[in-house]
Amino acid sequence: MRRTADAAAAHVDERSERISGTVGTARSVAELPVTPYRGGFVDFTLSTRQGRIGTVVEVAGDLDMSTTPELRDQLRKLVESGAQVVVVDLTGVGFMDSSGLGVLVVAYKDLRERNGRLALAGVSEPVRTVLSITSVDRVIGIFETVHDAEEASAAVS
């Protein structure tokens, strides 16, 4: 029994030394095992295209404090350029924290002040939960597809 406890303790010590980088077999940080985490090593892409009714912003990756500045800047540019209808396609977004929520709310308010509209499309269940808990889903239109969002915007125009 003592031998098993000693072996377990040695394994924990060896693992701790490798992770901390103070002693161990790894020679550089690049050789350490990397565990992806939200906002750290997740790919994030943002693209903008002209839709049928307005501008479509396609987002893929996690929307968190490390990625939302890019979305915020893009939405701000669209508002300042006079965009009236903006559809944010969140089909590729599986996670959104409060910073992502804040960016969407600010864009909604900015567009509304200019008689414009913001709609969300392709919202995943985890993101929909965040929008529901905060009641943002009662203010910003949420649609299954970009096409549905554009159809609703065309009906309002």
Mean pLDDT of 52-61: 95
Mean pLDDT of 10-35: 40
Mean pLDDT of 20-30: 39
Enter the tokens of residue 16. Answer: 């701790």
Question: pLDDT band for position 51 (50/70/90)?
Answer: very high
Domain definitions of the chain by residue range: 2-31, 45-156
- Nearest Cα to 57, choosing from 81, 20, 86, 36? 86
Q: Is 66 exposed, middle or buried (0-12, 13-18, 19+ CB in 10 A)?
A: middle
- Nearest Cα to 71, choosing from 108, 114, 19? 108
User: Residue 154: its pLDDT value, please?
Assistant: 79
The string of pLDDT tens digits covering residues 86-130 is 999 999 999 999 999 999 999 999 999 999 999 999 999 999 999
Whole-number Å distance between alpha carbons of 78 and 142: 20
In the three-class reduction of DSSP (H, G, I as helix; E, B as strand; rest coil), residue 65 is classed as coil
Mean pLDDT of 6-18: 44
Of 2.130.10.10, 3.40.50.300, 1.10.287.70, 3.30.750.24, which CATH number belongs to 45-156? Answer: 3.30.750.24
User: Residue 42: its pLDDT value, please?
Assistant: 58
